[in-house]
Amino acid sequence: MKDHVLELENVSKRFGDFTAVNDVTLRIPRGSIYGFLGQNGAGKTTTIRMIFDIIKPTSGRVRILGASSALDVRKRIGYLPEEKGLYKAMTAAACIAYFATLKGISRKAARRDARALLARYGLEKFADTKIQALSKGMGQKVQVLCAIAHDPEFVVLDEPFSGLDPLNQQVLETLIRDLATKGSTVLFSTHVMQHAERLCDQLLLIAKGRKIFDGTVAGAKATMPRRVLISTASNIDALGGLDGVAEIKAVGDSPTNSGAKDWEIRLRGQTDAQAVLEKCFQSGIVLRRFDHTEPSLHDAFVALVGAETATGERA
Amino acid sequence: MRYIVLIALREFLENAKTKGFWIGIFMLPLMMIIGITVSTKLAKAEPSRYFLVIDQSGAFAGPIDQHIEWEYQKSVLGALGQYAQENLRPGEKHDLNLATYQAAVDAFIAAGGKEALLARLKPLLRDNAPAFKEPTRFFVRIEVPNDVDASASHETLLAQLKPYLVGERQVSTDAGSLPLFAAVVIKPDGVEGAMRWTGEESIQYWSTNLAVNNLTQQVQEAINVETRRRLYASQGVDAASVRNIEATWSRLGTFDPAKKAGEETVSTADRIKRNVPIGFVWLLWMSIFTVMQMLLSNTIEEKSNRIAEVLLSSVTPHEIMMGKLLGIAGVGLTMIGAWLGTVFIGLRFWQGPGALELTQALDAITASGLIPMFLLCFLLGYLIYAGLFLSIGALCNDIKEAQSFQGPLMLIMMVPFITMALINRDPHGTLATILTWVPIYAPFTLMNRAAASPPMWEVVCASLLMVATAVLFLWSAGRIFRIALLRSGNRPKLAEIVQWLRGRAE
């Protein structure tokens, strides 16, 4: 059996009539970087709070590092909440050290480690600066360090990239990769797909509290129907008869090729776009443009969430 | 427990480490000391004021001079008393009368005044005692200036005096040219006017400075003495005998039947001790509400800055709450310790008037159960109010929201402050009894009544009631804390909070 740092089994959370998390089952293997995607209000933060036993699930079971409550393994886990904040009057080093002591590190070791950690990420000159004097991004980096100062096996970062400039986002990406290299498991939530695409081994996508995808990035993209965009002035009825073409949609007059029209051709399953190109030649369709791009994670996300929202609304 | 201690330590250090905290602590006794010292020093440093007397009746100029001189001798005697107290050889006792009541001042003057007393005092003083410095003469009478005609009509006289009185011209004194402070003008019918209304004021006091009124009092007293002397004489009574008889001062011993046989006398120390609870109540009030503000703002900081969520991933709400309670209690006790320490040490080394009585009172306070009682009242009061303030802190999103609670809370909090003196005056009265049974006021009331030995059963039952209230408030705070700490947005409605307390909602 594979070693899992986190297991959720049919976890649901209801607040009165509102279901924030609906029957989510999840297993996060040790050593992976796991992306947790979802719209605002999809239930990400509620799920994370249940993982940390800050709130109790209405039903279902959470096991974290083999324990039934995060407090039993608090020394081995780290958490960066979505809404960031630290004690304004404390210095950066004191803050990091304080949270580390709450994770069981001795006061002396915590103070030493805090400075080492700040130095490793180029923040040593801010060690004795009070939090209130730090910029927002700097404060956020300090808070990330607070979450990992005790070398946790499992780290949950809720929206760690929000509010950071591109350079600092890069620093944070490095930090997350460092953690994984050292053997820690990282679960981070985001709604910026590029980060997920670059960092994640696996991802979990939820919408309206329900899990709608759990797997690899490639797997997520594969759920997207492939499509081809063409511009032509010719009649394209012939393409409609092609096996593997699910739908042809007129997009309108081509803005770049005068006299031509733009069409979107949706393909069935894993149909190769090459087949469409061949058919065009065979049917004498004169192509002004033939565009076949891989779907991005962003497209997959929109498509998956869109589908779920639609079914949700029908239900 | 380890986590509670860690949180408590942070709370304690965060508050106790700031300069503001210590400045605040020492500001209080410091302000008191500065206030007392500066006002005494300023009073001593007050300059002499020059006045003149135009007595057209011829009856009062002499008596005014005599009385002003008598008042000055009284201040000399007072200063000698303090001088003796400060410079007496340790352990030395003297049988000199240094009190300043009328007969004592008369006796002092009759015995030869300052020189005679100093001669008797000298052998009793420390070897390095400084020389005695006479106090300033506050009021000095000067001669009427040459261009003022003392025998002129009242209107002319006033016209001539006016430039001096309003400061346009100065009078010559032994210290140079100085402004005239006041003029006493007595019309020819002054003797008659002193006894009855003659249709206008026969004795007039002119001055632009009406705030310093000692001179009017002294002049009036002089005229009263002289008028009475004349009346006695007209009745054939010897005025000197009357003055002697009037100097009689009866003794009244005060006794407390509750004290041990043979020790029933109520001393000054006893009287001080009886009034000490009011000081303790004040201290209790100040310390409890100062630390409550800290508790409130720290809780709100954690909530509004979303620190609570990080904390909750490491510790339970219970641990956070207990840590805060403990840490802030430590801050409160530090504050009280610093205040009491300063006061005790300050009074111990106080050399001024009443030093002996103060020392006795301090010993009495230390020996009595007042300090343990104070600690008990602080602890119970702290826990009761902490329950309230922790709940409010957890319910409010920011300090602004908390301020809307402050208004009604202030009113509630003012009650012990307002009733402080009333309860002290009547420690077994209706008000005292009622407030003993209101748990949020009981700590202050019991403390206030402590020196008057309230019935034991009342103390025990009221304490138990306070313990029960503290438990209830803290239990509720625990529930509210657990749920409200992570909530943001609208403040929950009362009905919702009741649901939480009943454990229905999450």
Give this complex's ipTM.
Answer: 0.76
Q: What integer pLDDT is reported at residue B379 of this predicted model? A: 92
Residues of chain B neighbouring A89 (CB-CB closer than 8 A): 14, 18
What is the mean predicted confidence (pLDDT) over B237-258?
78
What is the mean predicted confidence (pLDDT) over B80-98?
76
- Number of Cβ within 10 Å of residue A39's Cβ equals 16
What is the mean predicted confidence (pLDDT) over A70-80?
88
Contact A131, A94 (CB under 8 A): no
Written as one string, the DSSP assignment of B118-183 is HHHHGGGB-TTPPPP-PPPPSEEE-PPPTTS-TTS-HHHHHHHHHHHHTTSS-EEETTEEE---EE
> What confidence category does residue B351 fall into, taking pLDDT thresholds of 50, 70 and 90?
low
CB distance B301–A146 less than 8 Å? Answer: no
Query: Minimal Cα–Cα distance from B300 to chain A, Å?
Result: 11
More confident residue, B437 or A270: B437
Q: What integer pLDDT is reported at residue B391 of this predicted model? A: 86
What is the mean predicted confidence (pLDDT) over A47-65?
88
Task: Select from A17, A54, A162 the residue whose CB has the most chain B CBs within 10 Å, as the one to mutate to test that interface.
Answer: A54
Mapped onto helix, strand or coil, the DSSP state of residue B351 is coil
Q: Which of B138, B179, B142, B134 is nearest to B46 (CA)?
A: B138
B268-281 tens-digit pLDDT: 667 776 777 888 88
Query: Least CB-CB distance to B313: which of A54, A84, A90?
Result: A54
CB distance B301–A87 less than 8 Å? Answer: yes
Q: What integer pLDDT is reported at residue B378 of this predicted model? A: 92
Looking at chain B from residue 214 to 253, which residues have their Cβ under 8 Å from any Cβ of chain A? none
Q: What integer pLDDT is reported at residue A311 of this predicted model? A: 54
A121-144 tens-digit pLDDT: 888 888 888 988 888 888 888 988
Residues of chain A neighbouring B309 (CB-CB closer than 8 A): 49, 54, 79, 81, 83
Looking at chain B from residue 46 to 105, which residues have their Cβ under 8 Å from any Cβ of chain A? none
Query: Minimal Cα–Cα distance from A174 to chain B, Å?
Result: 23
Of A19-33, A68-82, B339-353, B448-462, the poorest mean pLDDT is in B339-353
> What confidence category does residue A314 fall into, taking pLDDT thresholds of 50, 70 and 90?
very low
Q: What integer pLDDT is reported at residue B360 of this predicted model? A: 72
What is the mean predicted confidence (pLDDT) over A182-190?
89
Judged against a pLDDT cut of 90, whether residue B66 lies above it is answered with yes
CB distance B306–A74 less than 8 Å? Answer: no
More confident residue, B484 or B441: B441
pTM over 0.80: no
Residues of chain B neighbouring A74 (CB-CB closer than 8 A): 313-315
CB distance A102–B311 less than 8 Å? Answer: yes
- B309 Cβ neighbours under 8 A, 6+ residues apart: A49, A54, A79, A81, A83, B486
**Which tokens go with B474?**
């803290």
Mean pLDDT of chain B, nearest integer: 84
Q: Which residue of B has its CA nearest to A52?
A: B313
Rounded distance between C-alpha atoms, residue A305 and residue B156, angstroms: 106
SS3 content of chain B, % helix, strand, coil (to 5): 65, 5, 30
> What confidence category does residue B223 fall into, taking pLDDT thresholds of 50, 70 and 90?
very high
* DSSP H or E segment with residue B30: helix B19-44
**Which tokens go with A221?**
């993209």
CB distance A55–B506 less than 8 Å? Answer: yes
Interfacial residues of A (vs B; Cβ cutoff 8 Å): 15-16, 49, 52, 54-56, 70-71, 74, 77, 79-81, 83-90, 98-99, 101-103, 143, 146-147
Helices H, strands E: what count in chain A? 10, 13
Residues of chain B neighbouring A155 (CB-CB closer than 8 A): none
Rounded distance between C-alpha atoms, residue B455 and residue A130, angstroms: 54
- A62 Cβ neighbours under 8 A, 6+ residues apart: A6, A7, A8, A9, A11, A50, A51, A53, A68
Residues of chain A neighbouring B316 (CB-CB closer than 8 A): 71
Q: Which residue of A has its CA nearest to B18?
A: A89
Query: Least CB-CB distance to B310: which of A56, A70, A81?
Result: A81
What is the mean predicted confidence (pLDDT) over A87-91?
87
Q: What integer pLDDT is reported at residue B357 of this predicted model? A: 67
Looking at chain A, the whole-number percentage of residues with pLDDT higher than 90 is 9
Q: Given CA atoms A272, A276, A277, A283 in this order, what sign does their dihedral have?
A: positive
Judged against a pLDDT cut of 60, whether residue B111 lies above it is answered with yes
**Which tokens go with A231?**
């511009």
Of A271-275, B143-147, B166-170, the poorest mean pLDDT is in A271-275
Judged against a pLDDT cut of 50, whether residue A1 lies above it is answered with no
More confident residue, B291 or B275: B291
Q: What integer pLDDT is reported at residue B28 of this predicted model? A: 75
**What per-residue string of b and e applies to B462-475 under the rule 16 or more CB within 10 Å gives b?**
bbebbeebbeebbe
CB distance B305–A98 less than 8 Å? Answer: no
Q: Which of A245, A286, A32, A60 is nearest to A155 (CA)?
A: A32
CB distance B305–A88 less than 8 Å? Answer: yes
Q: Which residue of B has its CA nearest to A106?
A: B6
Q: What integer pLDDT is reported at residue B505 of this predicted model? A: 53
Judged against a pLDDT cut of 80, whether residue B399 lies above it is answered with no
Q: Which residue of B has its CA nearest to A15?
A: B506
More confident residue, B94 or A314: B94
Q: What integer pLDDT is reported at residue A98 of this predicted model? A: 92
